[in-house]
């Protein structure tokens, strides 16, 4: 059990970086890099929306947090230079980094930390981790000391405080961060060419500006899998994190490229709207799960890159138990469950698919599998903004495919108003115990129970944990080997 921990920064932060408007220029300039992304973010404020594409551009680059999550999943100091944790795991005392300012010239101090966290947990907050911040009371001791009092025990809090939802925002600019982001990081927004790219440039007044080796970073948006491959082959981009797995073999065989296969905490699921009939019947949900051949989905959606999961938890995570045997692939069982539920086939359901290739490709595979048991999944392809507003926001869907990339998001199943409409008093009680249990062995046992409950309730068709592919110029150094969170950490990159 963790009783007390003090962490101090051991050296200056380094920031390096990325990007140019044209790949050809990037290849010839060692102070610029061009990255590509599948999705364009709806805005640039990670406290205002759930889209992971926001953090891929701004987290650790424009905005910073008290802690920083590293590629191996460990946590190190960032805006906090050290901290202490009380024996009961409910009080965190942070010593803040001095001589830090925001890009609009305002100072960073304990008052801004309190503002950011109070805002994140306030009544008007749209932060997807609002519940976490609502449980925190932030106290200012002096300009460079802040205390967080947590209503619950959360051994993962230091990790959570390094996520994009925990960025420290400046009060005067907070409301306009979606289009005019102001942070303490090494970069500023130079241009956002809607539908095409975002350009960041190094901020000369950054506290460690001399460490910035790359002065310009361009993020290009390329959704089409074939276009992604073509852009890499043409040299139009220097790196494509989380690129489509297509043509991996040709990149591995090409000496101009490096291919990095990353583990992740992401869970790709066939999300089921538990609040809609007949999907509110557990037998129907179990029938859907039994109709799915996970291995075939991994081949079709991820070109073989992925590990099957039976619940909303991934192998290697603390407390993981293998639940893939609870709802195994069994076509006859699926048909039998539908009959027991009184379902007359064909049963027509909508399958809403956002743009990422794993969703579009996986949707075709799953629709074909469901058809074998008499479920007609009518595919509706939507853009990301439509998915966020209609599916996630208005819960207007039957089935959808999406990757949940947050490492610690079991708590979403304790939110009855969350987009999948799951409401289980038993799970709520389990999760409350998890949040208030300090002894690791007890937490692991409870986490196992929670995973089994979600699997038995067949809340979703739990598919696989993603393995992400990064293809990059062989001379680009510092790419993350694993991806515990979705960021493009420019400070880690350099040209070799």
Query: Whole-prediction pTM value?
Result: 0.79
- Long-range contacts (CB closer than 8 Å, 24 or more residues apart) made by 279-282: 279/349, 279/398, 281/341, 282/457, 282/458
Instruction: Name the nearest CA neighbour of 486 among 86, 153, 38.
Output: 38
∠ CA 161-486-258, nearest 5°, is: 135
What is the Cα–Cα distance from 380 to 330, expressed in whole angstroms?
Answer: 26
Q: Which two tokens stand for residue 195?
A: 């539908």
For residue 81, the number of C-alpha atoms closer than 13 Å in the C-beta half-sphere is 15
For residue 432, the number of C-alpha atoms closer than 13 Å in the C-beta half-sphere is 7
Q: Which two tokens stand for residue 250?
A: 């040709």
∠ CA 369-418-439, nearest 5°, is: 100
Q: Is 441 helix (H, G, I), strand (E, B) or coil?
A: helix
Which residues lie below 8 Å from residue 111, measured CB to CB, with a gap of 6+?
A: 140, 143
**In this structure, how many other beta carbons lie within 10 angstroms of the beta carbon of residue 93?**
17
Instruction: Name the nearest CA neighbour of 147 among 185, 114, 193.
Output: 114
Q: Is 344 exposed, middle or buried (0-12, 13-18, 19+ CB in 10 A)?
A: exposed
What is the Cα–Cα distance from 217 to 230, expressed in whole angstroms?
Answer: 20
Q: Which helix (H) or strand (E) holds 139?
A: strand 136-142
Q: Which two tokens stand for residue 174?
A: 């907070």
Instruction: Name the nearest CA neighbour of 100 among 175, 9, 218.
Output: 9
For residue 273, the number of C-alpha atoms closer than 13 Å in the C-beta half-sphere is 20
pLDDT tens by residue, the chain, 496 residues: 333 333 333 333 323 333 333 344 444 468 999 999 999 999 999 999 888 899 999 999 999 999 999 988 899 999 999 999 998 889 999 999 999 999 999 999 999 999 999 999 999 999 989 989 999 999 999 999 999 999 988 888 999 999 999 999 999 999 999 999 999 999 999 999 999 999 999 999 999 999 988 899 999 999 998 999 999 999 999 999 999 887 898 999 999 999 999 888 899 999 999 999 999 999 999 999 999 999 999 999 988 999 999 999 999 888 999 999 999 999 999 999 999 999 999 999 999 999 998 999 999 999 999 999 999 999 999 999 999 999 999 999 999 999 998 888 999 999 999 999 999 999 999 999 998 887 889 999 999 999 999 999 999 999 999 999 999 999 999 999 888 898 999 988 889 8
**In this structure, how many other beta carbons lie within 10 angstroms of the beta carbon of residue 196?**
15
């Amino acid at each position: 059990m963790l009783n007390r921990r003090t962490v101090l920064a051991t050296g200056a932060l380094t920031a390096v970086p990325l990007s140019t408007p044209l790949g050809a220029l990037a290849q010839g300039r060692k102070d610029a890099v061009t990255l590509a992304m599948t999705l364009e973010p709806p805005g640039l404020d990670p406290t205002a929306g759930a889209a992971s594409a926001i953090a891929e551009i701004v987290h650790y680059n424009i905005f910073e947090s008290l802690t920083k999550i590293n590629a191996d999943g460990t946590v190190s100091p960032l805006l906090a230079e050290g901290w202490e944790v009380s024996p009961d795991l409910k009080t965190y005392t942070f010593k803040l980094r001095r001589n830090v300012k925001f890009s609009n010239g305002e100072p960073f101090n304990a008052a801004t930390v309190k503002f950011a966290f109070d805002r994140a947990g306030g009544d008007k907050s749209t932060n997807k981790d609002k519940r976490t911040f609502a449980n925190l009371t932030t106290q200012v001791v002096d300009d460079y000391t802040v205390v967080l009092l947590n209503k619950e025990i959360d051994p993962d809090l230091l990790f959570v405080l390094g996520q994009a939802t925990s960025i420290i925002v400046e009060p005067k600019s907070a409301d306009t961060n979606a289009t005019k982001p102001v942070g303490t990081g090494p970069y500023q927004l130079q241009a956002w060419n809607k539908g095409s790219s975002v350009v960041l440039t190094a901020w000369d007044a950054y506290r460690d500006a001399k460490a910035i080796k790359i002065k310009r970073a361009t993020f290009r948006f390329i959704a089409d899998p074939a276009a992604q491959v073509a852009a890499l082959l043409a040299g139009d981009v220097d790196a494509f994190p989380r690129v489509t797995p297509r043509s991996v073999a040709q990149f591995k065989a090409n000496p101009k490229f490096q291919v990095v296969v990353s583990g992740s905490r992401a869970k790709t699921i066939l999300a089921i709207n538990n609040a809609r009939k007949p999907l509110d019947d557990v037998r129907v949900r179990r029938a859907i799960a039994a109709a799915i051949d996970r291995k075939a989905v991994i081949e079709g959606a991820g070109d073989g890159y992925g590990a099957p999961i039976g619940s909303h938890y991934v192998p290697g995570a603390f407390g993981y138990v293998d639940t893939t045997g609870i709802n195994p692939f069994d076509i006859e069982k699926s048909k039998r469950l539908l009959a027991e539920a009184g379902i007359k086939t064909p049963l027509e359901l909508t399958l809403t698919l956002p743009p990422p290739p794993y969703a579009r490709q996986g949707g075709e595979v799953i629709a074909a599998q469901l058809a074998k048991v008499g479920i007609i999944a009518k595919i509706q392809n939507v853009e990301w903004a439509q998915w966020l507003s209609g599916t996630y926001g208005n819960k207007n869907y039957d089935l959808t495919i999406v990757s949940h990339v947050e490492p610690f998001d079991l708590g979403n199943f304790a939110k009855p108003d969350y987009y999948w409409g799951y409401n289980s008093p038993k799970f709520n009680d389990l999760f409350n115990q998890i949040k208030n249990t300090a002894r690791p062995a007890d937490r692991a046992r409870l986490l196992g129970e929670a995973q089994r409950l979600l699997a038995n309730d067949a809340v979703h068709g739990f598919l696989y944990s993603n393995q992400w592919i990064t293809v990059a110029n062989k001379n680009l150094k510092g790419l993350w080997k694993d991806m515990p969170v979705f960021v493009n950490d420019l400070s880690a990159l350099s040209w070799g």
